[in-house]
Every structure is written in C-alpha cells, then in structure tokens.
C-alpha cells in the first residue's frame, strides 16, 4: 500500500495541521486520449493540501481545473460554516505524490479557498480508500492509499 509520512521535522502538526504537497493532473483516461489526439498534456499543478476529516469530499481551489483546461463532470451543493446550499462544479482529476507512488483519481469540488496558502482539502471520500495515522506526540502523520 503506497504511503507518505510527514514529520517530525519540517512540520508543526498542531499549528498547521496535516499538510502535504500534492500534484494535480488531468486523469489518466484523458491523458491517454490527448496522446492519441496528439494534444498537449497540461503541466501538473503543485499545491499544498490539508487532510481535513471535517470535509465530506475533496475540495480544490477553483482555478486549478482552469489551469488544467478541464470541463466539469457534475455539480453539487456544499454547506460550510458561513454558507448553505452553495452550488459548485465538480471535476474528475488525478492527484499524486509521485515521490511516494501515491495516485488518486477522483471527483473534486471546485470552490474559492483563502488563507494559509492551502489550495486543497483532502476529504473523507479519499480517506475511505485509505488509512490516516496521526501521531500528535511524535509530530508526524502517515497517509496510505489502497
């Protein structure tokens, strides 16, 4: 099972939360199609992601799909501490941590995110296919994906 462990160095788990740098790319299926059509493959977008068990689904900064030139595959309504039933687009994308052989294909909700330079919330839809081990006293966490 591929996994990534962050900490204890270069991390303040209590202050910042479980942050991990990830890449966003177009899906493997779309990439295959682009290669057949000899279209240019968009460059990956590197972002800081927060593993957020308070998020029912993964959510990304709304300009990330635009940078990858992606069109939506759905819409959904979200409820946040400051809003209710807010409609957002959904996009099918690939999220990867190549250094640890971690890849996840899934649907991501696009919404404005502001603060702490975090551009992605990793939610419980991704976590249902994985294991999160949070060792507070060791200032370390591990995310594994099936």
Interacting residue ranges for another protein, rule: CB under 8 A: 26-27, 29-30, 33, 50, 52, 54-57, 59, 62, 69-83, 85-89, 92, 105-107, 109-116, 118, 121, 123
Q: Which lies closer to another protein via its Cβ, residue 99 or residue 114?
A: 114
Strands 120-122 and 45-51: parallel
Q: What is the DSSP string of 115-128?
A: STT--EEE-HHHHT
Shortest approach of another protein to residue 99 CB, angstroms? 25
Residue 57 vs 127, nearer CB to another protein: 57
Of 87 and 146, nearer to another protein (C-beta) is 87
Q: Are 5 and 142 in contact (CB under 8 A)?
A: yes
- What is the spatial distance between Cα 7 and Cα 15, in angstroms, rounded to a whole number? 13
Minimal distance, residue 21 CB to another protein, in Å: 17
Contact 122, 49 (CB under 8 A): yes
């Amino acid at each position: 099972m591929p996994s990534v462990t962050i900490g204890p160095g270069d991390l303040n788990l209590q202050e910042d939360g479980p942050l991990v740098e990830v890449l966003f790319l177009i899906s493997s299926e779309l990439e295959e199609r682009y290669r057949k059509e000899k279209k240019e493959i968009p460059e990956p977008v590197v972002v800081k992601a927060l593993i957020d068990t308070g998020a029912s689904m993964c959510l990304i900064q709304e300009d990330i799909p635009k940078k990858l030139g992606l069109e939506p595959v759905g819409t959904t309504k979200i409820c946040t501490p400051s809003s209710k039933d807010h409609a957002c687009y959904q996009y099918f994308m690939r999220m990867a941590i190549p250094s640890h052989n971690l890849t996840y294909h899934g649907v991501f909700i696009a919404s404005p995110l502001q603060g702490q330079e975090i551009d992605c919330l990793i939610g419980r839809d991704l976590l249902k296919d994985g294991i999160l081990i949070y060792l507070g006293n060791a200032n370390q966490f591990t995310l594994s994906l099936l």
